[in-house]
Amino acid sequence: MIQDIKTRIANLNWESIQNDLDEQGFAKLPVILTKEECEYFIELYCEEESYRTTINMMRYRFGNGEYKYFSYPLPEIIQSLRESFYLELVKTANRWLGYLKKTEQFPDHLQDFLNTCEKYEQTRPTPLLLKYETGGFNCLHQDLYGDLFFPFQVVFVLNQRDKDFCGGESLLVEQIPRAQSRGHVITLEQGSALIFPTNYRPVLGKKGYYKNTIRHGVSTVTSGARYGLGIIFHDSK
């Protein structure tokens, strides 16, 4: 099953995903997790011993909803998702560094990147489950938890759109230098995912690449409850 997760990720159409990431900064993925796997996570949401921290979003004015960061060791399936997405996305991450004429490179394997995070005192795990009930939303934000960050993150929706919940679309807003911002609305089916930039995306201009800052959020859940699984690669201070 876990081996199977790795195969599922490796077998995605990475050529097309890499192209989407370069062209638009984000990539919508097909269904990856089965209904049973999604239900497993929704049930896991209530198992308090799996988490290091629970955040009430209203309390911090982050939105309306709740999320929980897993503690280490991560559930095997999340560890596998994190490792296998990293293996592919590190190629894009390093290509993007090249576009921006940066010489440093991210290591090929997640564990080596996490060892570097440790040097920056970023040792707390960041994968999380999120829950929004009717009226819930997530304000536009970025998830940078220290000086070191991986340029991509992945989010899965765990229940069925238009059946278990309405609204709750994924939002990306791109801040274009010296221009107005552009919004993207992405609807995700149960078990499908979105890859998006944690901080910015490089865009080719007349004088080389420049950066569009990107923030993400979730529109209001107009009925029902929406659960999500976020895979963030860098650890937190």
Ligand X SMILES: O=C(O)CCC(=O)C(=O)O
Residue 193: strand pairing partners: 156
- Number of chain residues interacting with ligand X (CB under 6 A): 10
Q: Is 171 a residue that touches ligand X (CB under 6 A)? A: no
Residue 172 near residue 26 (C-beta atoms within 8 A): yes
Q: Which of residues 191-230 bind ligand X (CB under 6 A)?
A: 216, 218, 228, 230
Residue whose pair of structure tokens reads 């796997």 in the numeric block: 37
Least distance CB 154 / Fe ion (angstroms): 11
CB 156 within 8 A of CB 33: yes
Question: In this structure, what are the phi and psi dihedrals at residue 78, rounded to the nearest 5 degrees?
Answer: -75, -40
99 or 199, CB closer to ligand X? 199
Q: How far is the CB of 68 from Fe ion (least distance, A)?
A: 13
Give the integer Cα–Cα distance in Å for 237 and 233.
13
Looking at residues 114 to 143 of the shown chain, list those that interact with Fe ion (rule: CB under 5 A): 143
138 near ligand X, judged by CB under 6 A = yes
Q: Which one, 138 or 159, has the nearer CB to Fe ion?
A: 138
Is position 74 an interface residue for ligand X (rule: CB under 6 A)? no
234 binds ligand X (CB under 6 A): no
C-alpha distances (whole Å) from 20 to each of 26, 64, 75, 196, 197 are 6, 31, 30, 10, 12
Cα separation, 141 vs 121, in Å, equals 22
Residues that bind ligand X (CB under 6 A): 130, 138, 143, 153, 155, 170, 216, 218, 228, 230
